[in-house]
Structure 1
């Protein structure tokens, strides 16, 4: 029982750090975190809270 409570506490403390990592990855790719991508954008990564990291498509 103590082990379960300890693991739960650890996971709750690590959740914000993990979410910040996803947003930082999106910014590094020069994308933006939005609910859904537009027609001229592609999904390149995931952000926190079920948002998508979208990047404008570059013409060939």
Structure 2
């Protein structure tokens, strides 16, 4: 029984750290965490609290890096 309680406590305290990882991944992809993506955005990853990481679509042939 002690083992079960220990595992529950470890998983309970690691959950917020895992969720923050997803938000950081979204921001590195230049995305935003929203409830739903707009027409000019695509879903590129997941965020915490059931949010979607949305990134604005770029028109064909246009690259932000080569302005």
Q: Which runs of 4+ in 1 moved over 2 A?
A: none
Q: 1:4, 1:42 → 2: CA distance? A: 41
Per the normalisation by structure 1, the TM-score is: 0.97
Structure 2 residue runs without a partner (length 5+): 61-67
TM-superposed CA distance for 1:43, in Å, is: 0.2
Structure 1 residue runs without a partner (length 5+): none
TM-superposed CA distance for 1:11, in Å, is: 0.5
Per the normalisation by structure 2, the TM-score is: 0.87
Structure 1 counterpart of 2:64: none
